[in-house]
Amino acid sequence: MWTPAVSSKKIVNASRATANAFARKLFAPLPKRYNQLNQVLSFGQDRRWRAAMVEHVVGAEPRLILDVACGPCAVTKRIAKRTNGRIVGLDLSADMLSAGQRNIQKSGLQERVALVLARGEQLPFANESFDALTFTYLLRYVDDPAATINELARVLKPGAPMANLEFAVPSKRIWLVSWWCYTRWVLPVAGYLTGGKGWWDVGRFLGPSISKHYRQYSVDWTLRAWEHAGMEHVERRTMSLGGGIVIWGYKTERA
């Protein structure tokens, strides 16, 4: 297995960061069946969203890719199947990374994938290190989304693509009402029945956290934050009647 060049000091700092403590606690019980239950509870839409995000980076034929908030490595594995490059998967949860490591080994990808414990807000990599970057369901778990987007863009080479998947809030009233009922009532119960108390807690948290995030940081705000971070040709695609959104762009080329 290969190992990327990282700063050990930043990884140590990541384990001491209190801002992410809630996310670590919330996701600690979930890694074992995380990928499977994500598919069940999203009616298969999560897989479609992840595939759409990955397609926006693989066309550049990247040799070194960073997958931030990789969890148990569902996106990491998809990138590995769609490219010949090496991938660094990064997450703040040691439990998630342990599950990801098992998934990578089962897939025989350990020679191309390295996993790093660190925060998306404080990446332990030099400027312009990567040929592509993905990040998934990250921005609701950081204190400063704009600073985080700046940090993600920092490690990209000029011209390199970056793509993001996040949950979204439907804009049409009929789908908004359905989404609200599902996320507030159905999801917690379905989570408990399929995954136990850990998924009950996530189900109760998810809908309100998504609504709160977009009240503070609209999609238009997010697109501007990407541009302010040095990304260009920034585009978006809403999916599944507005329940998910994929955003992508390219690091500005040097003059």
pLDDT digit string (tens) for 229-247? 999 999 999 999 889 999 9
Q: Is the pTM value of this prediction over 0.85? A: yes
Question: Residue 57 CB: number of other CB atoms within 10 A?
Answer: 25
Order across the sheet with 113-117: list the strands: 113-117, 86-91, 64-68, 132-136, 161-167, 244-251, 231-239
Q: Which CATH architecture has domain 8-170+217-251?
A: 3-Layer(aba) Sandwich (3.40)
* pLDDT tens track for 56-76: 999 999 999 999 999 999 999
| Structure-token pair, residue 120 | 């998306």
Which residue in 8, 10, 251 sits closest to 122, CA to CA?
Answer: 10
Strands (E) across 107-230 are located at 113-117, 132-136, 161-167
**Domain assignments of the chain as residue spans, ordered by start:** 8-170+217-251
Q: What per-residue confidence (pLDDT) applies to 32?
A: 64
| Higher pLDDT pick, 22 / 128 | 128
Confidence tier at 204 by pLDDT (50, 70, 90): confident
Q: What sign for the dihedral angle of Cα 52, 224, 202, 152?
A: positive
- 3-state DSSP call for residue 208? helix
Confidence tier at 11 by pLDDT (50, 70, 90): very low
Tell me the CA distances in angstroms from 80 to 66, 113, 142, one per residue in order.
11, 8, 27
pLDDT above 50: residue 12: no
* pLDDT tens track for 19-58: 577 666 666 666 565 566 566 557 678 889 999 999 999 9
Tell me the CA distances in angstroms from 217 to 59, 199, 210, 251, one per residue in order.
29, 26, 10, 22
